[in-house]
Structure 1
Amino acid sequence: MIFSQLSKFRVVVIGAALLLIAIFVISVATGPVSLSPSQIWRTILGQGTSKDELILYTFRFPRILITILAGMGLALSGAILQSVTRNPLADPGILGINAGAGLMVVIYVMFFTIEPTSFLYILPLFALIGGLLTAAFIYLLSYRKGEGLEPTRLLIVGVGMAAVLYGITLTLTTRFDREQYLFIANWMAGRIWGDEWPFVLALLPWLILFVPIVFAKAKVLNALNLHENIAVGLGVNVAKEQRLLLIIAVALAAASVSVSGGIAFVGLMAPHIAKALVGPRHQRFLPVSAMLGAALLLIADTIGRALLGSSGIPAGIIVTIIGAPYFMYLMAKK
C-alpha cells in the first residue's frame, strides 16, 4: 500500500513537471513573433539569429520565469492559509491579503516614482507591509478565544476586507495622472508587468528564503490542519506556529503579486487539485501544488498573450474566469 502511494506520488510529480515543461515551451514559442521549437533550440545553443536571441532572452524568458515564480508563491501561500485556518476556501486573493498589498502599492505610487530601477526591491517590502497589516486585522476580527480561527467567520471577514480595501484603492487612483493610473489599472487586472531580468532577481530571494521553511514545516501543517486540540496534543505550539506560517504565507503572496499584479484563485485551485491527486499530506501535495500553481498562471498568461494581438488579456482575468466558477463550486460543496 505504501509502495503504491509512493509510486503514485512519483508519477504525479513527474507528470506535473512534464506539464510545466510543455507549457514553458509553448509559452516561449507564443507571442506577436512566433518561434518554432528548432529556432528555440538553436538560440539556446548559441546558433540563433540576433532577433531570436533578443526575443528569447530579453522578452520571453524573464516574463515566463516571473510567471512561474509568482505562480509557485501564490500556490504555496494558498496551501498554507488553507491548512492553518482549516478553511478549504482560503486564498490570498479571496481573503483580502492581495488587496492589502495592492493598497500599499498604490500608496507607494502616489508618493514615489514608478521607474523600475527605483522601486524594484522596495515595492515587495511595501506590498509585504500591506499584506501583513491586512492579515493581522483579519486574524484579530476572526479569532475567538477558546474557538480559534473559525473558517466561516474568517472567510466572511476576508471577503469584506477585500471589498473595503479595493474600494479605497479605486478612490485613491482618482488622484493619479495617466501613467500612474494605467500602471495601477494593469496591476489590479493581474497583468504580468515585471517582465525583465531584474524583477526575477527581486522575487527569487523571497522564494529561496521561505519555500524551504514551508517544506520543513510540513509535519506542523499536517497537525494544524486537524482540530486545534489535536495539534496541541501532538506537541505543537499552535499560536506560535500559526503566526509564523501566516507571516510566511503573506510574504510569499505579497512578493508574488508585487511583480505579477493582483492575481487571485491560483492559491485556491492549485492546492485543491494537488490534494485530489496525491492526498492531504503536506510532504506530498506542497511540491505538487507549487508546480501546478506555476503551470496554471503560465497557462493563463500564455492564453492572454495569444489573444487580442499585442495588448493581450491580463493573466489575472484569465485565472478569474477559470477560478470564480471553481470557487462557487467549492462554496456549494463545502
Structure 2
Amino acid sequence: MANPLQKTTGRHKGKGRFLLSFAFLILATVLMFYVHLRTGFAHLSDRELWQVLLGGGTEAQRLTVFDFRMVRSLLAVLVGGGLAMSGALFQTISRNELASPSLLGVNAGAGLFVMLLIYARDTSAPSPFWQLPLAAVAGAALAALLIYRLAYRKGQTLSPYRLVLTGIALTAGIHALQLLLVVRLDPQKFHIVNTWIIGSLSGNTWIHAAALAPVVLLLGLLLWSRSMDLNLLSLADETAIGLGLPINRARFLYLMAGVVLAASCVAIGGNIGFVGLICPHIARRLAGADFFRLLPFTAVLGSLLVLAADWVGRVIIAPDEMLLGIVISILGAPYFLYILVRTRK
C-alpha cells in the first residue's frame, strides 16, 4: 500500500522542479529580451542602452531603442507566446502532438485572405493598419469554421482524427489557390506577399503592438482560468462527457479561441511556422500535461524561441537580415523530425 506521505513528498518535488524550471525560463527570456534590444544596425553599449532606458541618451538613441528595437522585441514576445498557446490548444483539441495552426488550415486561411487583400488594393496608397490583421483573422476563422463543419457529424462527437484530416485537405487546396494568385502578382506586391508568407517582425509599429497585446494577454488569461476544461478535453470523449464537459461545444469554442490567437499573431508577424508545434511539445515534457502549468510554460517558451530566432536572423548575416520564418524553420525542422521518429517507435 502506498504511503500518503511519499505521495505528498512526490507532489512537492514535482512542484518544486516546475517552479525552478519556470523561473529559469523566465530569466532566460528576460536576458534574451535584453540581448534582442541591444542588437541592431546602430551600435549601443550596455551603458548607453541603460541610459536610454532610464530616460537619458540622445534623441537618435531614444528613437532607435523605443521606436524600432523595443517594439520589435515586444512583438516577438507576444507573437511567440500567442502562437505557442494556440498550438497547445490545437494539439489538445485534435489529441495529436503534431497538430499546429499550420496543420489545421488556420495559417493557410489567413494567408489566402491577406494575399487577396494585397492583390486587390493599391500598394502605392497608404492603407489603415487594421486591414491586414482583419483580413488574416477573417480568413483563419472562415477556414476553421469550414474545417469544423466538414468534420462534424450530426448526433456524434467531433472526431479529432477527422478534424486533422479535413484540415490537411483544406490546407492543400488553399495552398493551390495561393500559387495561382502568386503568379499574377506584380514584383512589388510579390515582395510584400513573399515577406509575409515567410514571416518577419520588421516594419511594425507600436500601433501593431497595442492591437496584439490585449488579444494575447486577455485570451491567455481566459484560457488559463479554464485549465480544468482543457484538461478534460484531453481525456477520452466518454470520460470528459461523464465528468460534465459538453464536448462538441467545448471543442468549437476552444478551436475558435486558438484561431483568434494564431490569426492575430500571424497577421502581425506573417506565416511563422513550427512555434505552435514544438513549444507545446517541449513544455509537456518539462511541465507536465496539466494546463494550469502547461499554458504559461508554453507561452514563455514560445516568446523565448521567437526572440532568439529573430536575434539570430539579425546577426547571422549582418548587416543584412535573415527573415524570422527562415530561422525558425531551420531550428524547428530537426525537432519536428525527432518527433516523427519518436512517435513511430
**TM class by shorter-chain length?**
over 0.9
Q: Secondary structure at the match of 1:175?
A: coil
Q: State the match for 2:172 in structure 1.
A: 163
Say if 2:332 is the partner of 1:332. no
What TM-score does the superposition give when structure 2 sets the normalisation length? 0.91
Contact 1:120 1:202 in 2 (8 A): no
Say if 2:158 is the partner of 1:148. yes
Q: State the match for 1:184 in structure 2.
A: 193
Highest CA radius of gyration, 1 or 2? Answer: 2
Moved more, 110-119 or 228-237: 110-119
Say if 2:8 is the partner of 1:7. no
Cα distance 1:226–1:126, how it changes in 2: closer, same or farther (>3 A)? Answer: same
CA distance in 2, matches of 1:199, 1:240: 32
Q: Secondary structure at the match of 2:103?
A: coil
Structure 1 residues 17-63: Cα deviation after superposition (integer angstroms, max 9, x where no partner) = 10111111111111222322222111111222223212101110011
Contact 2:84 2:302 in 1 (8 A): yes
Structure 1 residues 193-212: Cα deviation after superposition (integer angstroms, max 9, x where no partner) = 45211110121121233122
CA distance in 2, matches of 1:133, 1:211: 22
Structure 2's unaligned 5+ residue stretches are: 1-9
The percentage of aligned residue pairs carrying the same residue is 35
CA distance in 1, matches of 2:198, 2:299: 22
Q: State the match for 1:93 in structure 2.
A: 102
Give the AA of the match of 1:299: A
Say if 2:291 is the partner of 1:282. yes
Cα distance 1:16–1:114, how it changes in 2: closer, same or farther (>3 A)? Answer: farther
Cα distance 1:133–1:30, how it changes in 2: closer, same or farther (>3 A)? Answer: same
Instruction: Compute the displacement of 1:117 (Å).
Output: 6.5
Structure 1's unaligned 5+ residue stretches are: none
CA distance in 2, matches of 1:36, 1:71: 27
Give the total of aligned pairs.
Answer: 333
Q: State the match for 2:269 in structure 1.
A: 260
Cα distance 1:114–1:217, how it changes in 2: closer, same or farther (>3 A)? Answer: farther
Pairing of 1:110-121 with structure 2 (within 5 A): 110-114=119-123, 118-121=127-130
Give the AA of the match of 2:149: L
Cα distance 1:322–1:293, how it changes in 2: closer, same or farther (>3 A)? Answer: same
Correspondence for 1:48 among 50, 54, 57: 57
Give the AA of the match of 1:209: L
CA distance in 2, matches of 1:259, 1:305: 18
CA distance in 1, matches of 2:305, 2:115: 27
CA distance in 1, matches of 2:132, 2:302: 23
Q: Secondary structure at the match of 1:118?
A: coil
Give the AA of the match of 1:56: V
Contact 2:158 2:248 in 1 (8 A): no
Correspondence for 2:279 among 270, 274, 279: 270
CA distance in 1, matches of 2:124, 2:236: 47
CA distance in 2, matches of 1:223, 1:117: 47
Contact 2:157 2:247 in 1 (8 A): no
Structure 1 residues 133-167: Cα deviation after superposition (integer angstroms, max 9, x where no partner) = 2122223344456463233x444433333232222
Give the AA of the match of 1:148: L
Cα distance 1:87–1:43, how it changes in 2: closer, same or farther (>3 A)? Answer: same
Moved more, 192-201 or 116-125: 116-125
Q: State the match for 2:133 in structure 1.
A: 124
Q: State the match for 1:244 in structure 2.
A: 253
Instruction: Compute the displacement of 1:116 (Å).
Output: 10
Cα distance 1:226–1:116, how it changes in 2: closer, same or farther (>3 A)? Answer: farther
Structure 1 residues 192-242: Cα deviation after superposition (integer angstroms, max 9, x where no partner) = 245211110121121233122211221001001011111001100111111
Say if 2:116 is the partner of 1:107. yes
CA distance in 2, matches of 1:305, 1:166: 29
Moved more, 229-238 or 3-12: 3-12
What TM-score does the superposition give when structure 1 sets the normalisation length? 0.93
Say if 2:222 is the partner of 1:213. yes
CA distance in 2, matches of 1:277, 1:224: 20
Contact 1:228 1:238 in 2 (8 A): yes
Give the AA of the match of 2:15: L
Instruction: Compute the displacement of 1:125 (Å).
Output: 2.1
Q: Secondary structure at the match of 1:32?
A: coil
CA distance in 1, matches of 2:171, 2:59: 46
Structure 1 residues 91-127: Cα deviation after superposition (integer angstroms, max 9, x where no partner) = 1023221011011111111223558963322322221
Correspondence for 1:312 among 286, 308, 321: 321
Q: State the match for 1:33 in structure 2.
A: 42
